[in-house]
Amino acid sequence: MAIINSIKAVTEALDVAMERDPNVIVFGEDVGLEGGVFRATQGLQQKYGIERSFNAPISEAMFAGVGLGMAMNGMKPVIELQFQGLGLPSLQNIITNISRMRNRSRGKWTAPLVIRMPMGGGIRALEHHSEALEVIYAHIPGIKTVLPSTPYDTKGLILAAIESPDPVIVLEPTKLYRAFKQEVPEGYYTVPIGEGFKIFQGNDLTVVTYGSQTVDCMKAVELLKASHPNATIELIDLRSIQPWDKKMVIESVKKTGRLLVVHEAVRSFSVSTEIITTVNEKCFEYLKAPLSRCTGYDVIIPYDRGEGFHQVNPQKILVAMQNVLDYKF
Amino acid sequence: MKTKYIGKFDPLKDEVVRVIDKDGKVINPTLMPKISDEELIKAYSIMNLSRRQDDYQNKMQRQGRLLSFLSSTGQEACEVAYTMVLDPKKDFFVSGYRNNAAWLTMGQPIRNIMLYWTGNEMGAKAPDGVNSLPPNIIIGSQFSQATGLAFAEKYQKRDGVALTTTGDGGMSEGETYESMNFAKIHEVPVVFITENNKWAISTPTYEQTKSINLAVKGIATGIPSIKADGNDFLASWAVAKEAVEFARSGNGPVFIEYDTYRLGAHSSSDSPDVYRPKPEFENAKLYDPLIRMKQYLIDKKLWSEEKQVKLDEEQSAHIAAEFAWVEENKNYGIEDIFNYQYSELTEDLKEQMNEAKEFFAKYPESKDGGHH
């Protein structure tokens, strides 16, 4: 097994998929010769030719729609958007056409395409490059949304997305592209869409997170040992946010009685809202503390000088965990 | 490929392909396409059927038995022409929402169209072997979908063509330009059409663009672009036939502007009398494509008033029978709103479907509670 980072895992996933199926093609802004702004598609044009890996004109609404047409007609397009914040014109087609095609044609036409995009902050980028808008995608019926946090999951989830008969949005935390390496199997494997991963087992508090906050949460759990040496934390990486692993979270909260949801996206009308509501409905009588969350504030993502105030970090998570653990009725 | 129309008429000079005048007289015999008498009669029959269906549906809508719908009245000639030249099994028609005559020509049964306008998605499902996509309410988006379908045809080394259409209003959407740009870059077999019917709801074309016409909008992308009289079936058919052959032969996309006129309302819910100048409308009626085509056929001894009476009777009976079927079959069960979200029902949706079933089993009448 090779030890690689997440960006290399993206490339490997695409390489494996293109090798297996000639109908898999990749396109997006600058993805051709140069390999995209993060070099995720580097080498693919050289290996598979300009017909299968090419630059798209800068018109995201169009190329999402074009991808839909290709997918309806037997192909497996994997479309790259440069940044989530720059790809918003594509939402027009994601919401109005891609997510609805199976339903509006009553199954005659389907849209098995994949749209990938870097997302999230913490990379000292310019305005519109650090958005965490996952909830917009999670809110749309008809598409699936995955959000890997490790090189292993990145490759496995992208391959699962390509295999999926439904349209899948892959949100790739930019901050983690080159943050660390991991052993990743060569060749083909998938990580099932909708299944979470338990990073730590624990009995006292369930922490649910995804994306780049998995790393922050792991650090916070380490820091917690100083103040709460006897507390054990069950840390869950959701990996998919629509569908999300409701069963894993509910079983965990029934065991621990406490929940903290962590994400960098703004607080209101967010993934944490959904999880907390569900847990409230399903295991109210098991709870030992109010359901809690540690998130970004409801503000426009600050530029670099202010981003540190907004970003979730291990210290913020630590305080949030302590508050839940120390709560007394 | 040697062309007779594409590249021979300059959109920058507002040149228009026209074969017959408003009275059905041939004015440009050299432009006459090779089309059989049988095809001409078939085309006229579908144009007539679509017009009668529009009239019938308007009545049903007034009675509250049909939702608002968008009629093709006035635009039947070009719609029938450009879909007639497609092979519905291997070519794709990516429609807008005002395409009744085109849907009929592609082989969409009337009952499906009516079902759609009663609010049942099943109506958007074309029969097996008919590559006609559901109506596209978001204007402009059909251009990108057609481009993708055409890309896949070329990529997979098949020879199907995708044909798509929008109105003059749709040409103001960025996606139409973006799609033509991409289609030309990849030289995919797609025919883009705009049916310039002069009104986008209540906005006239002259408030939509200051271009000399819409055909010039294709020129910036490098796509051969042409303008034809969309109320002249012969001109419409000639240009469409050549465009589809042009694209099918590997020459890349074509853009056609059909000069036509929306004789009806935007939808059955609005009144054009509020915004449309009466003299303009009265003048447009003189160019009604059905009248022109009928007169042309009569002059050619292919048609008569007796045949017209018989056709109207047959088609009226057929339309009424289809609507009767629709009224019997327009509703569906709870499962249908859940079943087509994903390839398989998710656990969440199963739970929500069961919740809905239990609720409506207990309170069956409340299903209609959302309607006032």
- For A60, A64, A163, A259, B152, the CA distances from A49, given in Å and listed in that order, are 22, 21, 22, 49, 16
Helix (H, G, I), strand (E, B) or coil at A262: strand
Answer whether A9 touches B (CB < 8 Å).
no
Contact A105 B124 (CB under 8 A): yes
Q: What CA–CA distance (Å, rounded) separates B186 from B247?
A: 12
Nearest-CA neighbor of A79 among A96, A97, A59?
A59
Looking at this protein, which amino acid is placed at residue A36?
Answer: G
Q: Which two tokens stand for residue B145?
A: 């979908």
Is B275 marked active-site?
yes
Q: How confident is the model at residue B305 (pLDDT cuts 50, 70, 90)?
A: very high
> What ranges make up the beta strands (E) of A167-253?
168-173, 182-184, 197-200, 205-209, 233-237, 240-242
Indicate which residue of B155, B158, B275, B340 is catalytic: B275
The pLDDT tens digits of the residues spanning A173-186 come to 999 999 999 999 99
Cβ neighbours of A72 in B, within 8 Å: 133, 145, 148-149, 152
For residue A144, the chain B residues in CB contact (below 8 A) are: 342
Q: Rounded to an integer, what distance in angstroms lies between the CA atom of residue A100 and that of residue A141?
A: 8
Span A138-162, pLDDT tens digits: 999 999 999 999 999 999 999 999 9
A230: exposed, middle or buried (Cβ count in 10 Å: 0-12, 13-18, 19+):
exposed
> CB B340 to CB A144 under 8 A?
no
pLDDT one-digit tens code per residue, B261-300: 999 999 887 889 899 999 999 999 999 999 999 999 999 9
pTM of structure: 0.95
A26 touches chain B (CB under 8 A): no
pLDDT of B372 strictly over 70: no
Residue B194 near residue B167 (C-beta atoms within 8 A): yes
Cβ pair A243:B346 closer than 8 A: yes
Name the token pair of A278. Answer: 């569900």
Which residues of A are catalytically annotated?
129
Residues of B in contact with A93 (CB under 8 A): 141, 144
Touching check for A106 and chain B: CB below 8 Å?
Answer: yes
Catalytic residue among B51, B248, B262, B292: B262
Q: What would the two tokens of residue A166 be?
A: 């439904």
Query: pLDDT digit string (tens) for A253-268?
Result: 999 999 999 999 999 9
Question: What distance in Å separates residue B134's CA from the closest CA in chain A?
Answer: 6
Contact between B152 and A164 using a beta-carbon 8 Å cutoff: no
pLDDT exceeds cutoff 80 at B369: no
Q: Cα separations (Å) of B99 from A166, B31, B82, B125, B235?
A: 29, 26, 11, 15, 19
Question: What pLDDT is attached to residue B368?
Answer: 73
Give the pLDDT confidence of B311-341 residue by residue, as tens digits: 999 999 999 999 999 999 999 999 999 999 9
Judged against a pLDDT cut of 60, whether residue A121 lies above it is answered with yes
Task: Tell me the per-residue pLDDT of A79-112, one tens digit each, with 9 for 90 and over.
Answer: 999 999 999 999 999 999 999 999 999 999 999 9
Angle, helix A314-326 to helix A213-227, in steps of 10 degrees: 50
- What pLDDT score was predicted for residue B269? 78
Q: How many CB atoms lie within 10 A of CB A308?
A: 11
Q: What is the pLDDT of residue B231?
A: 98
- Residue B370: pLDDT band by 50, 70, 90 thresholds? low
Instruction: Write the secondary structure of A127-185 as one string of H (helix), E (strand) and C (coil).
Output: CCCCCCCHHHHHCCCCCEEECCCCHHHHHHHHHHHHHCCCCEEEEEEHHHCCCCCEEEC
Q: Which of B112, B136, B137, B145 to mutate to test the interface with A (most CBs of A within 10 A)?
A: B145
Residues of A in contact with B149 (CB under 8 A): 69-70, 72-73
What proportion of chain A, given as a percentage, has pLDDT over 70? 100
By the 8 A CB rule, do A117 and A161 touch?
Answer: no
A90 half-sphere exposure, CB direction, 13 A CA radius: 30
SS3 content of chain B, % helix, strand, coil (to 5): 50, 10, 40
Distance separating alpha carbons of residues B98 and B168, to the nearest angstrom: 12
Is A62 in Cβ contact with B346 (below 8 Å)?
Answer: no
Q: How many CB pairs under 8 A join A and B?
A: 137
CB contact under 8 A, B182 and A63: yes
* Full DSSP string of B112-169: HHHHHHTT-GGGG-PPTT--BPPP--STTHHHHHHHHHHHHHHHTT----EEEEEETT
Q: pLDDT digits over B351-367, tens only? A: 999 999 999 999 988 87
What is the interface pTM, i.e. ipTM, of the complex? Answer: 0.93
Query: With contact defined as beta carbons under 8 Å apart, do A266 and A312 qualify?
Result: no
pLDDT in tens, B60-113: 999 999 999 999 999 999 999 999 999 988 999 999 999 999 999 999 999 999
pLDDT at A1: 87
Nearest to A66 among B124, B151, B348 (CB): B151
**B179 neighbourhood in chain A, CB within 8 Å:** 62, 65-66
Distance CA B366, CA B129 (A): 39
DSSP-derived secondary structure for B180-223? HHHHHHHT--EEEEEEE-SEETTEEGGGT--SS-SGGGGGGGT-
Beta-bridge mates of residue A206: A234, A259
Query: Is B231 in the A-facing interface, judged by CB distances under 8 Å?
Result: no
Q: Which residue do the tokens 């310019």 mark?
A: A126
Question: Residue B248's Cα: distance from chain center in Å?
Answer: 21
| Contact between A66 and A97 (Cβ < 8 Å) | no
**8 Å CB contact of B125 and A108:** yes
Residue A270 contacts residue A220 (beta carbons within 8 Å): no
Whether A277 and chain B come into contact, CB under 8 Å, resolves to: no
